[in-house]
Structures are given as C-alpha cells and as structure tokens.
Copies of this chain bind each other. A is one copy, B any other.
Amino acid sequence: MTTTDGGRASVSIQDMSKISGLSEATLRYYEKIGLIGPVPRDESSGHRRYGGHAVEMIEALGCLRATGMSVQDMRDYLRFLDGREDSAALMRELFERNVSRIQEEIERMHVRRRYLALKAELWAARERGDADGENRIVPEIAAAREGLR
C-alpha cells in the first residue's frame, strides 16, 4: 500500500485511487486544474508520490466528490480548511447548501421514477394486449409528465 521513503510514508497513484475512490485519471485531472497539487514525484521514475498530508486531504475530497459536490465547492472547502479565517459558519453553509441540492434531486428523482414506471406499465399492457389497462394508464402518464419540469 505505502512505501517508506526516507522515513516518510508515500502513496502511489494507484493506491491513492483505491483510498480515495477517485480514478487515477481524476487524480491527474484535479492536479491539472489546480484543485490539488502539485504532487511531488519520485526522482528517477517521475511517478507521483502522495505524502501523508495530501493523502488525508484527497481522501476527504473523494467523499465530497462522491456526494456530487461541485469542483468549485470543493475548492471553497479546501480554502476554508486551510485559511485562518473563522470558517466554521462558511463550512456549515457550504454543507447545508449541498444538503438542499441533494434534497431537491431526490424529489425530482421520485417524479422521474413514477413517470418511467408508468411507461413500463403502459408497454406491459400493450405487450399482453390489454387495451383497458392501456386506457387507464395513459391519463396517469399525462399527469406524471407535468411534474417533470
């Protein structure tokens, strides 16, 4: 998992990927756009070696990314963490905003699920030649469509 390198633990990109849940490509991408890094390299091979501090930070980023948080919010998160400003309130707001975002997404998902489930039922009715069933479902689909924005 980790190799010792002059007394300090260092982690390869593959292991960093396993630890954080971010793909190797994403780790390179985040470095390229300046969200993390620059990551120190192994002298001879030029391979990335993530040090203790970076490992924890990127592990946390992996969780935030897994919630669908935007890159901009992750940037703010890192800024609040590291800055000596009184950032507890800003952090709370950042996370509350993201809870609301998820909440809204969940609600939209329910509407979508209902619409798609009705469509599946419609075609199931057609499949078994059930014209009555079809006629019952059609107006329900029309109603469900309204909620889809």
Q: Which residues of A pack against B, CB within 8 Å?
A: 21, 63, 66-68, 88-89, 91-92, 95-96, 98-99, 102-103, 105-106, 109-110, 112-113, 115-117, 119-120, 123-124, 126-127, 145, 148-149
Complex: how many Å from CA A113 to CA B69?
Answer: 11
CA distance A68 to B109 in the complex (A): 9
Contact A116 B67 (CB under 8 A): yes
A91 touches B123 (CB 8 A): yes
Q: A88-B127, A89-B127 are in contact. List 17 more A-B contacts (CB 8 A).
A: A66-B112, A66-B148, A88-B124, A88-B126, A91-B119, A92-B120, A92-B123, A92-B127, A95-B117, A95-B119, A95-B120, A95-B123, A96-B120, A102-B113, A102-B116, A106-B113, A109-B109
User: Which of A102, A103, A126 has the largest number of chain B CB atoms within 10 A?
Assistant: A102
Give chain B residues whose Cβ lies under 8 Å from the Cβ of A123: 88-89, 91-92, 95
- A143 → B minimal CB distance (Å): 12
User: Which residue on B lies nearest to A129, using beta carbons?
Assistant: B88
Q: Hey, which chain B residues are within 8 Å of A91, CB to CB?
A: 119, 123, 126
- Of the listed residues A63, A89, A105, A145, the one surrounded by the most CB atoms of chain B closer than 10 A to its CB is A63
